[in-house]
Amino acid sequence: SCEVLEAIENVIEDVVKSLAQKKAPVLTLANRSGWRNIEFKDSVGLQMIPHCTTKQIRSDCPRSAPKFALMLKILSMIYKMVQTNTYATKRDIYYSDTLLFGSQSVVDNVINDISCMLKIPRRSLHILSTTKGFVAGHLSYTEEDGTKVNCTCGATAVTVPSNVQGIKNLISHAKFMLIVEKDATFQRLLDDDFCNKLSPCIMITGRGVPDLNTRLLVRKLWDTFQIPIFTLMDADPHGVEIMCIYKYGSVSMSFEAHHLTVPSIKWLGLLPSDLKRLNIRKDVLIPFTKQDQNKLASIQKRPYIACQPMWKKELEIMAASKLKAEIQVLTSLSSDYLSRVYLPNKLQFGGWL
């Protein structure tokens, strides 16, 4: 907390110095909106280059002055929270003055900019994001306030903790971890008692694009247990994108890559090549939209695809067919095909990339 307070004091000191010299104060932060400042490193994923281009949030420019004011406002809120050892969610911050902030996305963006400017992870700023992910399976841990949590598979899952950094005493006998893209598939596997049937495992879903807490938990479980991690995604560009976020990170959060990515993650399914191998009927597949084509083309150009020849091949199959499939397509073979046949065979015979 001393580090956070000092970093904020340094920013404010610069503002005061500028004012004393009758200059317009300026906030400088790394430009995190494009690929120019990003490098790909196999062991980390997407990370910011050491000497990246910066952008200035000026107080004397009509376009950036409102943002300058909002950054100072949220910096003062963070300073107070760190001093009093209290926490707030991004939602709490937005609702503290909805007229001033205008929208939740404005708050989210300013918080990420502050985290990037101070070079301090968001959770150290005492800001918690609301969690949407679920975890289930052979895992128990203690939350920061002493609450004991047991995720052992029942028909219900446990919400991913909102302060992943604070959990301790993690215990698990799981042999592997399965990240599931969608909530519906996750619930189906829970109903089929998948966590216990094959061999003990941990299942996690970010319910689509994962929030920060879900990604932090995946990374924490990897650091703690070093067990294989597999992903189960739709065979479409959106599913591939989500898997890449878990494995390699995202451009906008590349300044935090070291705490968030798990480059050892494997693509278990649904692979585009599986559709042909399993004789999935064409009429249950979905034609590509223009958006799908653009998304796939942009993924194929990314630096990490070059070092994944097998992934490259799968993406080429997808591009050639111009068809996509949801995981639910497997129910066209039988209602429990996913948990009874598909996953056990894949895990037993090494059908992952």
Tell me how far apart the terminal alpha carbons of the chain are, to the nearest angstrom: 42
What confidence tens digit (pLDDT) does each residue in 292-321 have? 999 999 888 888 888 888 989 999 999 998
Please list, in sequence order, all residues whose beta carbon lies within 8 angstroms of the beta carbon of residue 125, skipping any fewer than 6 positions away.
Answer: 4, 78, 81, 82, 111, 114, 115, 118
Task: Determine the distance from the C-alpha atom of residue 186 to the mean position of all C-alpha atoms in its chain, rounded to a whole number.
Answer: 17
Residues 112 and 248 in one domain: no
Residues 66 and 14 in one domain: yes
pLDDT at 34 over 70: no
Confidence label for 33 from pLDDT (cuts 50, 70 and 90): low
pLDDT at 282 over 90: no
State the Cα–Cα distance between residues 79 and 116, nearest whole angstrom. 16
Find tokens 């107070």 and name the residue: 80
65-71 average pLDDT score? 90
Among residues 79, 94, 95, 248, the one annotated as catalytic is 95
What amino acid occupies position 349?
F
Residues 122 and 159 in one domain: no
Contact (CB, 8 A) for 166 and 151: no
CATH number of residue 151's parent domain: 3.40.1360.10
Beta bridge partners of 41: 45
Residues 138 and 52 in one domain: no
Contact (CB, 8 A) for 46 and 255: no
Report residue 263 as tokens.
């480059």
Final residue of a domain: which of 108, 128, 148? 128
Confidence label for 155 from pLDDT (cuts 50, 70 and 90): low
Confidence label for 153 from pLDDT (cuts 50, 70 and 90): low
Poorest-pLDDT segment among 38-52, 91-105, 295-309: 38-52
Contact (CB, 8 A) for 83 and 5: yes
Number of domains in the chain: 2
What confidence tens digit (pLDDT) does each residue in 254-271 have? 666 677 888 889 999 889
DSSP for 30-95, written as a single string: E--SSGGGEEEETTTEEEE-TT--EEEEESSSTTTHHHHHHHHHHHHHHHHHHHHT--EEHHHHHH
Residues 139 and 70 in one domain: no
> Containing domain of residue 99, as a range?
1-128
Final residue of a domain: which of 69, 101, 128? 128
Residues 204 and 100 in one domain: no
CATH number of residue 55's parent domain: 1.10.10.10
Final residue of a domain: which of 81, 104, 128? 128
What confidence tens digit (pLDDT) does each residue in 268-281 have? 988 999 988 888 88
Q: In the chain, what percentage of residues exceed pLDDT 70?
A: 95
189-208 average pLDDT score? 86
Report pLDDT for 56. 81
Q: Is residue 95 among the annotated active site residues?
A: yes
Report pLDDT for 203. 92
- Predicted TM-score of the model (pTM): 0.79
CB atoms near residue 128 (< 10 Å): 21
Report residue 194 as tokens.
């998948």
